[in-house]
Structure 1
Amino acid sequence: MVGLLHSHTLKRRQSICRSRTIVMSFIANSRIPRRCTNAALTLFTVIFTLVLIIQDGNLLFDEPGRTAQSLKNHLMLNWSEPPIIFAKGAPVCKVPQFHPLDKEIWPYYRAPPSEIHCKRRQEPMSYMHLETSELEISSRAYLYSCFAEDLLRDGDNGVKFVELRPLFVGRTYLEQRTGVQAIRVTCYNVLKILTYSHIHLVAPKLAPKKIANALGAAPKKRRNVFIFGIDSLSRLAALRMLPLTYKYLVNNLSASVLRSHHKIGDNTFPNLLTILSGNRKKHPNDIHSSQETHMCDKWPLIWKRYAKEGYETFYGEDYPKFATFNYLLNGFINQPTDHYLRPFWLAVESSMVLRSSSLLCYGITPKYKLQLDYLRYFLRRNSTDPYFVFSFLVEISHDYQEYVGAADQDIVSMLELLREQVLSGETLLIVLSDHGHRFDPIRRTRQGHVEERLPLLAIATGDSSQRTTLAYNSNMLTSHYDTYEVLRSLLPARSRPEQTEFGINILDNLVPSNRTCSQAGIPDLYCTCTSQEDAGGFDEGMAIDLAQRAVGFINSMLQKDYISSSACSRLSLKKIASMFLIGYEKVLSLETSPGNALFELRFRDWNDQLEEPMFSRINRYGEPCIRSQTLRKYCYCGR
């Protein structure tokens, strides 16, 4: 192991040895009894070794970037990965199994921060008490003139502020208003200069018709549905970044975490659309090409079915720029759910406060906490109506995967509020992601290639029979179509939509051991099932030839499109980044210039005809200059 240590670690060890020599010399020249010498040296060595371990996690990890936090995470992971046992025979699909901190990913792994630090740019002067609908103005504002304005939705991509009214030091009760999900507080000094501004979430007043429906539609108690999603998070990444959350789900909520759960599309949109609507397209990545200019109001999103059954509905994403139904789409004409956080987040994103805030912060508060705080309020309310919640955190994991670890304890705190509801059978809890990380450096490894296709899915139910079924299915091949079938199954028969071609209700039905990716609706490109077939080897000459052919294919796609042909640069092969085998398929990663784009090509035979679905972009790209969902990942803007 010494031979593997980095030079700075060796220097620290050498320092300990020199210090030990000095201590030995001191002891030899002193009058310390010989019987104490060995004990003193042993104690000295133990203390300095512990100091070395604490100060430098590299001692045990032997790779750059390892920290004491990495070691802590590594030790916490040991409990969570029991061996897979197949009670009724092994499935045909065998997904490769990796340790969450396999040595292959050490050079790329960044330990999550303990918290997100938000610099104080202005003194807080207002506080919203959601439980009592009271807005509190701090005593430090007594020399200022403060006002409140209601924030209203103005289409799905705009907001407007209405009804300016004065505020005074102390608490003011805010009457709930229909369509008002947030308010803005502003304070001015004696010179009428704006000195303070903050936007607060508030609880909206449900429309009278909605309340009447809710009270009359469902006399029988219905099970709540609470879906908590995090963007770009594989199951193994959840183990690395959210060990407390993972542990709480399994140990305290008896959740089953599905270990062979697959995505069915490239990015967020096709995957979430499948979860929420059972999208029946065989190639869900293509949906933008036919519905790009349409609004989403007529789409068969399942929360509509729950709303008709008297459920109070919630939908919130914290990153409006990349919102599922607004990124390359036009969103909704009408507000889609009772609680809808998009107007709030649009106002936050365009505020002066955000422009002066730290990364991932709004003022002194991490942005993810704003959504979690509202969810905590939602769960504490004394509401008699059943609810359907779909909350999706995006920003904290979309661009910087390690930052999601800062939310670990806060997520656990929210889950603690759900524990009694879940274990009593009152609420079904689903914690999920759309896909693994597509652009993190780990994606360049074999493990990252597999992880990107295996998003997190954990389901907790209070029904013992369903727990048994889920435990069995946790080792079977599943997809987002199955998640939709779970949501469909909880509806009464009169509101239940037609079953999908690919999905299985994994709460109540066992997944067949002979299930294939095709049967689960998983395109070949995203299928990680391995086979005993020989994939053959890599011939360097053939690899270069294929890489050149791949770049030519990309250029031809760009050239055939009128807009991209004039907006995008012609690419050339810079280098082959990596080559590896997965089951019976070969994976070739290549880098192009200009732009240093990394593409991954998955194929079976050197002479395979190239098709667009065989390609994946595996590093980040900037703001697009073309609208095409298919071509934008290949385009380097500028001729």
Structure 2
Amino acid sequence: MPYVEPFTEDVLKHMEFKKLPKCRSDSDIIVAEYDFDLKVYRLHIREEQAMPWFKRNTTLECEYEKIVRDIKSNKVDDSFRVLYRRILTQDFLVPPDVHYALVHCAVVNGKDKRVIQSDGIAFVQDYDGRSSEELPEEIEEHPKPSVIIFGIDSMSRINLRRTMQKTFRYVQQPGWYTLQGLNKVGDNTLPNLLAMLTGYSDEDTNKICDVFVPGCLDRLPFIWKHFKDQNYTTAMAEDSMNISTFNYMKPGFMEQPVDYYLRPLLMAMKKTFNESQFYDQNLCLGRHLTFAYLWDYAKQFIQRFIQTAKPMFGLFWTNSFSHEFFDSSYALDELFVEYFKQFEGDGLFNRSIVILTSDHGMRFGYLRQISTGYLEERMPMLYIYLPPWFRRKYPRLVGNLVENRNRLSSTFDIYMTLQHLLQLNSTKNADIQPMSATCPTCQSLLYRLPVNRTCEQAGITEKWCTCRPRVTVTMEPYATPMAAAIIQQMNDGLVMKNLSDLCANFTLNHIIYMDHIIELNRKATDDDSEQYYVIEFSTKPNIGMFEITFSWIHRTATLNMDLNEISRLNVYAPDSECVSDPISKKFCMCKNAIRTPN
């Protein structure tokens, strides 16, 4: 994998150094406080914050609505119900069965009532009496470390260093280890997180069930089920409801997947409150950044259980800032580090293994279209923190992780690592069960990876592999016939999917580059063998920018490619509204959306 310089002039001149938006200028009137002695939440009304709205003869009246998942809905994960609405008194003790609430405060003058502030609040309540048992004194020898995964969508290690320099410096501290050879295994978030959390590829999960059918996701062997079986308290949350990993064009979970699950509250807030834009994205929800609701939930979860007997497993995934624009994460950098410092103060890093990772780098837009974008897309960041007691107790495993810094790894290996953390008495990788169903040669990152490991051994297909050298052949006479054959297959694919009435046929506009992938054990001049290439090209109508890895036999002019693995490098939402299939959306130019060239 070649080194990519993050701070080249062509990238820096396209960066916008915007500051973090302030969603509201006023302060919260209602705040939630947890009483660790009584083991109960209080809702405190800060009347002084409502003073700007007070006039003569006015009073302040606050209410709360109990929010629950609507289990009777056909789309449980996208639904909620208001169970009841009640008046709030000062320092109200929240009932233990209230996990989500919408709160409203109004100034009242006779029959006049004006709502001045509304918000959403999550409560990390006890589900069972054992959740808050005190931690044993011998924390140093605790056999089960808590495991917390923080994810930033679409973040390569290179772009983290470029746009989130304070976060990058934070993870250079002692105890943090980076895996610079992490290679993604699928196009977008879902296949990479399925590999990380189930050990299955997107294709292999289809052998179990269809993820587009309600109830399928509940059947998949997610890693949090294994942690739950080992007596862990589990949590999961994402911050962007429109593009959530398990809900974008999918039905989500019919059963609540983990003990603590933020989605019902965010769905209620999204449907009740207005969103506001920043960087052309809806980043504010209710009174605060959606990101803040997510990380405040993580903070509550950590504070509630870090000093208890049961270990924690948590997955907290943010995509609100990083998904659309490669530079918008710059605005988040300082706040991100502030949260990490709060977690540090709460004791998270004394007991827990913390993983900071991503699914992939930028898949479209300017960063993806430059020459190094191919590598950035395929190389997500991965940082693993090991607490002091773990480093003392398992020095051999730590040494292996250090050795693996510059060796090829994949998201399937992260799955095996999570399994390993539940089986720390194992002495070799083969002891860890179950292994990845899709990649039986994948292994825990706490065991030493082979220095000559191949993409195939890491569960990475030719399309996504970054390990082989490439030679540019854009100007070779065979480049244009290859591009024409690819475009013909794209047009044939529209016919096979019965989309040719809706989607226009493609014609070649321009070959941006074509590279020959060199297989080191085979001569490049062998006309009878399959040769691999990567091509980036643009098409008409409109302008579609595509990339595909394909094979070609020169003697017979035989093309072999997978239409599903075509990468669309520019934004395609305006062009593809006439189709709903996520694969077809990537390469459909709707006839009713064709723009007349200037």
TM bucket by the smaller chain?
Answer: 0.7 to 0.9
Aligned runs of 1:333-372 on 2, under 5 Å?
A: 333-354=254-275, 359-372=282-295
Residue 511 of structure 1 pairs with residue 427 of structure 2: no
Residue 636 of structure 1 pairs with residue 583 of structure 2: no
Structure 1 258/582 Cα, relative in aligned 2: closer, same or farther at 3 Å? farther
Amino acid aligned to 2:435? Q
1:151 to 67, 79, 82: 67
Tell me the alpha carbon deviations over residues 364-414 of structure 1, each in whole angstroms, 9 at most, x when there is no partner.
522212211222222223433210000000111111332222222222223
Structure 1 378/291 Cα, relative in aligned 2: closer, same or farther at 3 Å? closer
Structure 1 511/581 Cα, relative in aligned 2: closer, same or farther at 3 Å? same
Amino acid aligned to 1:527? C
Residue 322 of structure 1 pairs with residue 227 of structure 2: no
CA distance in 2, matches of 1:523, 1:570: 29
Shift of 1:289: 9.0
Between the aligned residues of both structures, percent identity stands at 26
Structure 1 stretch 568-577 or stretch 350-359: which is displaced more?
350-359
Tell me the alpha carbon deviations over residues 265-308 of structure 1, each in whole angstroms, 9 at most, x when there is no partner.
00000100111111156x56978994321421111001011112
Residue equivalent to 2:507: 572
Secondary structure of the residue aligned to 1:600 is strand
Shift of 1:161: 1.2
Shift of 1:329: 1.8
Aligned runs of 1:419-498 on 2, under 5 Å?
A: 419=344, 421=347, 424=350, 426-462=351-387, 463-464=390-391, 465=395, 466-492=397-423, 497-498=433-434
Structure 1 stretch 96-105 or stretch 536-545: which is displaced more?
536-545
CA distance in 1, matches of 2:479, 2:495: 24
Residue equivalent to 2:30: 126
User: Contact (CA 8 Å) 1:150, 1:184: kept in 2 or not?
Assistant: no
Residue 598 of structure 1 pairs with residue 545 of structure 2: yes
User: Contact (CA 8 Å) 1:348, 1:354: kept in 2 or not?
Assistant: no
1:266 to 187, 207, 215: 187
CA distance in 2, matches of 1:372, 1:435: 21
CA distance in 2, matches of 1:541, 1:221: 63
1:184 to 103, 123, 130: 103
CA distance in 2, matches of 1:267, 1:243: 25
Amino acid aligned to 1:468? G
User: Contact (CA 8 Å) 1:214, 1:309: kept in 2 or not?
Assistant: no
Structure 1 273/536 Cα, relative in aligned 2: closer, same or farther at 3 Å? closer
Aligned runs of 1:236-255 on 2, under 5 Å?
A: 236-251=158-173, 253-255=174-176
Structure 1 stretch 489-498 or stretch 341-350: which is displaced more?
489-498
Residue equivalent to 2:200: 279
CA distance in 2, matches of 1:628, 1:452: 23
CA distance in 2, matches of 1:188, 1:229: 41
Residue equivalent to 1:110: 15
CA distance in 1, matches of 2:303, 2:382: 25
Shift of 1:552: 1.9
Shift of 1:638: 3.6
Amino acid aligned to 1:619? N
Residue equivalent to 1:298: 219
User: Contact (CA 8 Å) 2:472, 2:515: kept in 1 or not?
Assistant: no
Amino acid aligned to 1:171? D
User: Contact (CA 8 Å) 1:156, 1:331: kept in 2 or not?
Assistant: yes
Structure 1 400/215 Cα, relative in aligned 2: closer, same or farther at 3 Å? same
Tell me the alpha carbon deviations over residues 149-183 of structure 1, each in whole angstroms, 9 at most, x when there is no partner.
11111121111112211124x432323316x2343
Shift of 1:236: 0.3
Structure 1 stretch 364-373 or stretch 303-312: which is displaced more?
364-373
CA distance in 2, matches of 1:125, 1:453: 45
Structure (1 or 2) with the larger CA radius of gyration: 1
User: Contact (CA 8 Å) 1:215, 1:310: kept in 2 or not?
Assistant: no
Structure 1 163/294 Cα, relative in aligned 2: closer, same or farther at 3 Å? closer
Secondary structure of the residue aligned to 2:587 is coil
Pick the structure with more helix per residue.
1
Pick the structure with more strand per residue.
2
User: Contact (CA 8 Å) 1:214, 1:311: kept in 2 or not?
Assistant: no
Amino acid aligned to 2:162? R
Secondary structure of the residue aligned to 2:586 is coil
User: Contact (CA 8 Å) 1:256, 1:467: kept in 2 or not?
Assistant: no
Residue equivalent to 1:88: none
Tell me the alpha carbon deviations over residues 7-66 of structure 1, each in whole angstroms, 9 at most, x when there is no partner.
xxxxxxxxxxxxxxxxxxxxxxxxxxxxxxxxxxxxxxxxxxxxxxxxxxxxxxxxxxxx
Secondary structure of the residue aligned to 1:163 is strand
Aligned runs of 1:6-45 on 2, under 5 Å?
A: none
After superposition, the CA RMSD in angstroms is: 3.2
Gaps of 5+ in 1: 1-94
1:198 to 92, 95, 118: 118
CA distance in 1, matches of 2:356, 2:59: 47
Structure 1 342/547 Cα, relative in aligned 2: closer, same or farther at 3 Å? same
Structure 1 406/133 Cα, relative in aligned 2: closer, same or farther at 3 Å? farther
User: Contact (CA 8 Å) 2:468, 2:517: kept in 1 or not?
Assistant: yes
Structure 1 118/212 Cα, relative in aligned 2: closer, same or farther at 3 Å? closer
Secondary structure of the residue aligned to 2:336 is helix
Residue 99 of structure 1 pairs with residue 99 of structure 2: no
CA distance in 2, matches of 1:593, 1:280: 33
1:587 to 531, 534, 541: 534
Residue equivalent to 1:545: 481
Tell me the alpha carbon deviations over residues 121-143 of structure 1, each in whole angstroms, 9 at most, x when there is no partner.
x7743333356622233322763
Shift of 1:609: 0.9
CA distance in 1, matches of 2:122, 2:445: 36
CA distance in 2, matches of 1:124, 1:112: 28
Residue 401 of structure 1 pairs with residue 326 of structure 2: yes
CA distance in 2, matches of 1:400, 1:461: 31
Gaps of 5+ in 2: 71-75, 520-531, 593-598
User: Contact (CA 8 Å) 1:550, 1:610: kept in 2 or not?
Assistant: no
User: Contact (CA 8 Å) 1:443, 1:452: kept in 2 or not?
Assistant: yes
Tell me the alpha carbon deviations over residues 58-99 of structure 1, each in whole angstroms, 9 at most, x when there is no partner.
xxxxxxxxxxxxxxxxxxxxxxxxxxxxxxxxxxxxx11111
Shift of 1:356: 8.6
Shift of 1:631: 1.9
User: Contact (CA 8 Å) 1:315, 1:389: kept in 2 or not?
Assistant: yes
CA distance in 1, matches of 2:221, 2:117: 39
